[in-house]
Amino acid sequence: MGQKNLNRFWVIIFEKNLTDKWLSEQLGVEQATISKIGTEQCPAQS
């Protein structure tokens, strides 16, 4: 996912008032993973 698409993804999450916790539950991953991807500390897996 390109940087522009990734940024747009987080804008949509914010606009819909969704949380890292909600997203992690939907994806079945740890909340810390979502936080790291959001701050670009680890690359998103394809």
Three-class SS state of 42? coil
Could you write out the DSSP letters of every residue in 15-30?
HTT--HHHHHHHHTS-
* Interval 6-19: pLDDT, tens: 778 888 888 999 98
Residues 6+ apart with CB under 8 A from 37: 43, 44
Give the chain's mean pLDDT.
80
Question: What is the predicted pLDDT for the residue at 40?
Answer: 65
Question: What is the predicted pLDDT for the residue at 8?
Answer: 82
Q: For the chain, how big is the Rg over CA atoms in Å? A: 10
Average pLDDT over every residue of 2-30 = 86
User: Does the model's pTM come out above 0.85?
Assistant: no
